Structure 1
């Protein structure tokens, strides 16, 4: 080995990185290359392996136990997903052979008008998952799809393409969700979501949780159990994803709409930062673990092949344009960030958090975002991302106490975006956020330290699907936080999702909540509704939001 070539130990040493001024991308490429070899696989090579193909498969039991899904819609294409798994919680139960899977896309649910069909392969190296990128579709159209393996048919899914890039779109309806700890409750919110009339769904992270059985207890009590210890290997992450995917309510929501997915932290480990683990795990071991988690995530999501993880990285930030109405800028606030300041947690702002060179997005993603905002032709610009964007000081009275894992821990990164928005005159900015297991509605200020500074956009923070259990409507201490942060206009701590209906003139957001998740079958209500007028940044709350909509 070349004695002057950096070793993996060099790349993992912070002092070496600082001395060489290595950027995160170069580090990840090198570390990913080494760890890929040590794990015994590379994703680009996996498709080229000489794996036997079983032409007429027979299964010990039904293979489509994880349902079907579609995602990453474009005006002329969409991704269709499934995974063959007759024994889903024990590695899938499939032989080490590639399996041909027939797919069909039809204009009707009965498949009397099949418009496209073909054969894909459930690859053994990819846990027998299938990702079909169907092209040549019509913009703004509903389609139905299904798979067939051997003599077995999958459930039928329904999907929809986006409007054409320059189309005049009169209305768009979508929902966003996050944080679905399996042990903390039932996925009734997804059953209710599947009953909505939506064009698409955004999932903003924490699709799975990495805790071992019973490690994370919620106030209302854990009502289900994880099926293993904390995952660390590829097989363990596959089994964890499979457990979540077996839920029938989650399967209903996947089969009802195309999804746009992005991760947060629990898909790997709580509050990890880039390649830095939260716990005492060594950097080398964590890189291996993260690589396994990224691969399992790709295998279980309706993602295009270009997002397949390579060299330890998986680029998930991307853009979706819905005609002339909405441009979605989907961010990854986890993979490229600097380490949390002050050892993470809730801390007063300090010299480390205020460092102007700190970044939450990484330099490349930040440039991509700013360029996209500047060049957008849509009426509404949406930043769909993971962690609380607006300032949130939870210390009532003198001094500040801020969350170092959120944008408050990276204020220079946020300030660069706000300054750019002000300088370029970017209007109709809406930020969509997950992570915090509660609902919030915020006005984004040009300067959060000056309450009288201009409002430049709004932020809608969505609660969890189940995480932290049944939840609560509000608490006395929350009122103090709202008074301390006058730009925060609303709080609710129940479970559910957020529904948005967008027209050229009005953005409407409905906070859809459940009274409980500790048992199935909960009804859903609209707890609060806010509207934003085009060209007039700021929140206006409507009246009469608490009517019962679905009783189940």
Structure 2
């Protein structure tokens, strides 16, 4: 914009919604020639629904000491009301954002719609899940009330590690080096925030978030991290403070910055959110306040198993039971269990556990949902059992046997089609034999999730006992898991849904030689309370919560290409219903087209409705529009067949939502180029299996 003193390149966001308050966020980017350390930014907020535009305004500083980010905690708002907002600085105007506030905890509230995300590694793919959630919710006439991010919102690695250059789908990571200091963490957050799909989701609904490990460093805990080396990277406490400060500067969290008393303790609080009398959401902190070291045991236990098998690699797994191999494996298993059961191992700490128990019991009543958002998998997933598989459409047992034979043929199932054929090497065979032994003798290999903290896990489940049905959401593993959680007495305590990652690779990258269905079946064979799993696709979870039912859908996306403002390529993998009695049952995915909804409604009769928010009479009124949309799509298809465009030309014409283009605002990449700044590439390369 000519004459502007800067631009709002990173979009807008709202977060931490209360019945009468919201946190509004943006970042003002001054022109490179500007020498001012602070700019006055005006914020505007108005009611979207109603006969009059009731507007509130105020000013906030975009100051250099906070990386020119702006956060405003606006209070005194009307519960249950839908608002719009934007920011201005001189002639520069931000995109418009929207949000709806929840009702107070004592007032009836019928439904909630929200999406759940985790693990967004920029190099591994495009952030299609973010835009797809907006599209899917609108298709269902259920706009998002909020969205959860359960951690690994950014990754700390440099551009040569995870992913390695040969694995990179979206190049151009900024900064290129691993993150250690405040400026580097700020730059990585800024790089992520330039993504238009993240901007679109952020503008559509409030964000509620908690960090996992990669916001600081891989496998971190209270006093250190697997990916922190004090001799070259300095004190871990300094790195942690830098990462948390950048996190709160760049996300719409409700936190007070007190530079005079600079410490991380005030920034690491667990939180509660109420949504009328329908639900209470608790967001838990499991990394930096109380967690004891997980001691990076996975590789050392694998080495112990390999040492037992050393000299006996030629033995078939069928020869393991009853002899020397089994005796030594049982010894390894006993040592691992003693470590997992150690009551000194903590993730939450006594204070947070007591708070959870108090929230679960306070003012609870049957039917009010208790929702738990936290980063890790709570289900006690034992190592997969590849030797007791159900019979499938293909001979899974033969696939497993082949992988234990050097020179046998196997396929890479992450490749397109049926996969490329190759021969089993000694390295692959030996690694898979370790997997077989871990599953056969129930040796746990995951010590970073709740399976490594058994005593504290039981404390968490005990604290959730109360009058409200509990639903737990988790992330971190990059894979999708659905299952039951039971207390020590075997009774159901909660149902857990763990989401697949936004982009980070799952188990398909560790065992590409197994069909995904076989991998999932092996996990279910080892874990009776695991109801469903998907270990090969990326995406998000979409939830529709009602008084009597919790419905969740697992949505998958293709991360190898950007969305270009459509939901093309997104698909519903599975749906699940949970009643107030915690009965979990699979269900069909909700209708995503008006024609299908009309057909279902006609079959049910005029008195029925497919979606509570879409009565039959209103559905009929959409028939002409649906026919018009069908004709438009057909015309677009015919025209598209007559011309093709390069990846770069498609990127340059990309749309990312009417709300973000209103008023003729430029795309972030256009404004960045105008100021000589670098916008991230769209990621046009295609990579099968990611």
TM-score norm. by structure 2 comes to 0.66
Q: Which of 1 and 2 has greater Rg?
A: 2
1:166-200: CA deviations, max 9, x gaps?
A: 11111111111011111111111111112221111
Flag the 1:104–1:111 CA change in 2: closer, same or farther, 3 A: farther
From 576, 579, 588, the counterpart of 1:533: 579
Q: Aligned partners of 1:456, 1:351: CA distance in 2, in Å?
A: 25
SS of 1:296's equivalent in the other structure is helix
1:520 aligns with 2:562: yes
Farther-moved stretch of structure 1 (517-526 vs 176-185): 517-526
1:421-460 aligned within 5 A:
421-422=464-465, 425-447=466-488, 453-460=490-497
1:367 aligns with 2:354: yes
1:86-145: CA deviations, max 9, x gaps?
A: 57xxxx886452211100001239997242111111122111111111111111111000
Q: Which residue of 2 aligns with 1:380?
A: 369
SS of 1:76's equivalent in the other structure is coil
Flag the 1:543–1:304 CA change in 2: closer, same or farther, 3 A: closer
Q: Which residue of 2 aligns with 1:72?
A: 16
- Tell me if the contact between 1:133 and 1:304 (Cα under 8 Å) persists in the aligned partners: yes
Q: Which residue of 1 aligns with 2:144?
A: 198
Q: Aligned partners of 1:437, 1:97: CA distance in 2, in Å?
A: 41
Q: Which residue of 1 aligns with 2:196?
A: 248
From 429, 434, 440, the counterpart of 1:397: 440
Farther-moved stretch of structure 1 (369-378 vs 111-120): 111-120
Q: Aligned partners of 2:3, 2:574: CA distance in 1, in Å?
A: 51
- Tell me if the contact between 1:525 and 1:546 (Cα under 8 Å) persists in the aligned partners: no
Q: Which residue of 2 aligns with 1:37?
A: none
Q: Which residue of 2 aligns with 1:300?
A: 250
Structure 1: give runs of 5+ residues left out of the alignment.
1-56
How far 1:338 sits from its partner (Å)? 3.1
- Tell me if the contact between 1:180 and 1:208 (Cα under 8 Å) persists in the aligned partners: yes
1:478 aligns with 2:431: no
1:81 aligns with 2:122: no
Q: Aligned partners of 1:365, 1:138: CA distance in 2, in Å?
A: 31
How far 1:418 sits from its partner (Å)? 2.1
Higher relative CO (Cα under 8 Å, sequence separation at least 6) belongs to 2
Q: Aligned partners of 2:575, 2:484: CA distance in 1, in Å?
A: 15
How far 1:336 sits from its partner (Å)? 2.0
Q: Which residue of 2 aligns with 1:209?
A: 155
Farther-moved stretch of structure 1 (170-179 vs 337-346): 337-346
Q: Aligned partners of 1:278, 1:440: CA distance in 2, in Å?
A: 25
The structure whose residues are more often strand, as a share, is 1
1:408-467: CA deviations, max 9, x gaps?
A: 111111111223444xx44411000011111110111124xx8xx222210000111111
How far 1:545 sits from its partner (Å)? 6.8
- Tell me if the contact between 2:116 and 2:499 (Cα under 8 Å) persists in the aligned partners: yes
Flag the 1:420–1:72 CA change in 2: closer, same or farther, 3 A: closer
Q: Which residue of 2 aligns with 1:327?
A: 280
Q: Aligned partners of 2:592, 2:78: CA distance in 1, in Å?
A: 37
Q: Aligned partners of 1:130, 1:431: CA distance in 2, in Å?
A: 32
Q: Which residue of 1 aligns with 2:413?
A: none
SS of 1:327's equivalent in the other structure is strand
Q: Aligned partners of 2:591, 2:56: CA distance in 1, in Å?
A: 44
Q: Aligned partners of 1:213, 1:109: CA distance in 2, in Å?
A: 46
From 118, 133, 146, the counterpart of 1:178: 118
Q: Which residue of 1 aligns with 2:264?
A: 312
How far 1:526 sits from its partner (Å)? 1.3
Flag the 1:354–1:190 CA change in 2: closer, same or farther, 3 A: same
How far 1:342 sits from its partner (Å)? 4.5
Q: Which residue of 2 aligns with 1:289?
A: 239
Q: Aligned partners of 1:419, 1:335: CA distance in 2, in Å?
A: 22
Q: Aligned partners of 1:111, 1:151: CA distance in 2, in Å?
A: 29
From 322, 337, 353, the counterpart of 1:350: 337
- Tell me if the contact between 2:364 and 2:467 (Cα under 8 Å) persists in the aligned partners: no
- Tell me if the contact between 2:107 and 2:276 (Cα under 8 Å) persists in the aligned partners: yes
1:2-47: CA deviations, max 9, x gaps?
A: xxxxxxxxxxxxxxxxxxxxxxxxxxxxxxxxxxxxxxxxxxxxxx
1:223 aligns with 2:268: no
How far 1:476 sits from its partner (Å)? 1.6
Q: Aligned partners of 2:240, 2:214: CA distance in 1, in Å?
A: 11
Q: Aligned partners of 2:230, 2:56: CA distance in 1, in Å?
A: 49
The structure whose residues are more often helix, as a share, is 2
How far 1:304 sits from its partner (Å)? 1.7
Q: Aligned partners of 1:281, 1:94: CA distance in 2, in Å?
A: 38
Q: Aligned partners of 1:480, 1:541: CA distance in 2, in Å?
A: 20
How far 1:345 sits from its partner (Å)? 2.7
Q: Which residue of 2 aligns with 1:132?
A: 72
Q: Aligned partners of 2:35, 2:461: CA distance in 1, in Å?
A: 53
Q: Which residue of 2 aligns with 1:31?
A: none
Q: Which residue of 2 aligns with 1:11?
A: none
- Tell me if the contact between 1:340 and 1:409 (Cα under 8 Å) persists in the aligned partners: no
Structure 2: give runs of 5+ residues left out of the alignment.
138-142, 302-332, 384-437, 510-514, 597-632, 634-655, 657-690
Root mean square deviation, CA, Å:
2.8
From 221, 234, 238, the counterpart of 2:182: 234
How far 1:495 sits from its partner (Å)? 1.0
Q: Aligned partners of 1:296, 1:94: CA distance in 2, in Å?
A: 22
Q: How many residues of Structure 1 are paired with residues of Structure 2 in the alignment? A: 483
1:316-374: CA deviations, max 9, x gaps?
A: 41000101111001011111233334434375533333221321012222221111112
1:502 aligns with 2:450: no
